[in-house]
Amino acid sequence: MGFIGQNGAGKTTLAQILCGLVKQTKGQILLEGKNTRPAGRLREIYYCGNDTGTQFFTASVWEELLLQSGFTENRKERAAHLLKEFGLYAYRDTHPSAMSGGQKQLVGLAQSLIRRPALLLLDEPLSALDLNYQFHVMDVVSRETRRRNMVTLVVLHDINIALRHAAQVIMLKEGKLIDSGDPQTVIHAESLAQVYGVRGRVERCAQGRSMVIVDGAIEK
């Protein structure tokens, strides 16, 4: 599921509320029908922010993954699999501080997946990645989400990424829910105008995929 909306809409705040980093003021947060607040439930939730460089200790990439795995069964095989999926296997003995911002982002994603959470929250996971890795990472995350039967919520700024990869989207504006559901029905000319203040349209490309085309900003 993708969280979409303009800057300051509340996407990151909502993600942080869901994982307990920001205190909720009312209501309940349920995971598989049970409250997420008990400590035992919080261990099933993992939040990966876009400041991945602050999440590392003093270990190599390989050691970081093994630490995050919780010393569970087949942890070395799973760590090797994720490093290969993200193109990081050649950097397994490298310390994250010696890596680029995009590579650190990939290490953070690998860390989040090796923990096998029931609910994974990714806050702008594509912000430091080039176009190739943006699509590659979303393919890996989508595939791992289905394979592990988990819930993945992703804060996204690229609406076309949401159209291509998200099964559902939540569209926010100024902390309020505008719409939610299938991205093909939520994202349209009217919602683009309301939320982003742009004159836009959704059209099909030559391969039949939906894509957003922005013709200009709406004058205020």
Rounded Cα distance, 44 and 46, in Å: 7
Residue type, 82: L
Would you mind telling me the total number of residues written for the chain in this entry? 220
Give CA 4 to chain center in angstroms: 11
Give CA 89 to chain center in angstroms: 22
3-state class (DSSP) for residue 45? strand
- Between 155 and 100, where is the model more confident? 155
Q: What is the mean pLDDT of residues 139-151?
A: 87
Closest C-alpha to 9, from 170, 160, 185, 165: 170
Residue-wise pLDDT for 54-85, tens only, equals 455 568 899 888 888 876 778 899 899 999 98
Residue-wise pLDDT for 204-220, tens only, equals 988 888 999 999 999 87
Residue-wise pLDDT for 101-135, tens only, equals 888 888 888 888 888 888 899 998 888 788 888 88
